[in-house]
């Protein structure tokens, strides 16, 4: 049997007291609201992957500032799915769905998030923890040199 592991990323963008969410147009979360995100491409740095996915799905340019949650699950006996959720710093843009993977995109205040019946549970949990100020950010460490001098290829979060 061939092992097929996945690394996924999602971004929590909090701007002007609102959370960025997208409504999925396909797959297991079709019709549900979720933090924007997707799969890491081969050879792609994980923090760049979440910046790319947030921009592609929502039209929002944001910077990954640190990891706030890790979700791991076994999809099949041969497949592990690891999902890294990032705190994002809003840079610019107006929410606009990509029209392929995402039907709708927008910023929602906490009350709207709590009232939304069609929300992926993991997204709701992360937003609830953010709202309650219970999240801890694991930032990217740019001051330490490790492995070799090519900092593009190696990233340390601590």
Rounded to a whole number of angstroms, the distance between the first and last alpha carbons of the chain is 35
98, pLDDT greater than 90: yes
pLDDT of 148: 57
| Distance from C-alpha of 67 to C-alpha of 124, rounded to nearest angstrom | 17
pLDDT, tens digit (0-9, with 9 covering 90-100), for 4-38: 899 999 999 999 999 999 999 999 999 999 999 99
> For the CA atoms of the chain, what is the radius of gyration?
16
User: CB under 8 Å to 37, separation ≥6 — which residues?
Assistant: 8, 9, 10, 11, 50, 53, 54, 57, 83, 85
Band (pLDDT 50/70/90 cuts) for residue 153 is low
21, 33 Cβ separation under 8 angstroms: yes
0.75 exceeded by pTM: yes
* Average confidence (pLDDT) over 38-51: 95
| Distance from C-alpha of 136 to C-alpha of 69, rounded to nearest angstrom | 8
68, pLDDT greater than 80: yes
Domains in the chain with CATH codes: 6-139 (3.90.79.10)
156, pLDDT greater than 90: no
* Top-confidence residue, 119 or 158: 119
């Amino acid at each position: 049997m061939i092992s097929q592991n996945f690394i996924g990323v999602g971004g929590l963008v909090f701007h002007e007291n609102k959370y960025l969410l997208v409504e999925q147009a396909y797959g297991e979360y079709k019709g549900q609201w979720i933090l924007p995100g997707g799969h890491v491409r081969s050879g792609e740095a994980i923090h760049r992957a979440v910046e790319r996915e947030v921009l592609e799905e929502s039209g929002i340019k944001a910077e990954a500032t640190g990891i706030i949650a890790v979700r791991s699950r076994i999809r099949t006996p041969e497949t592990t799915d690891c999902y890294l959720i990032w705190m994002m710093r809003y840079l610019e843009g107006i929410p606009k769905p990509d029209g392929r993977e995402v039907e709708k995109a927008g910023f929602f205040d906490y009350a709207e998030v709590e009232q939304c019946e069609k929300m992926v549970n993991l997204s709701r949990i992360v937003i609830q923890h953010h709202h309650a100020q219970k999240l801890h950010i694991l930032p990217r460490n740019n001051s330490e040199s490790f492995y070799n001098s090519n900092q593009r290829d190696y990233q340390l979060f601590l």
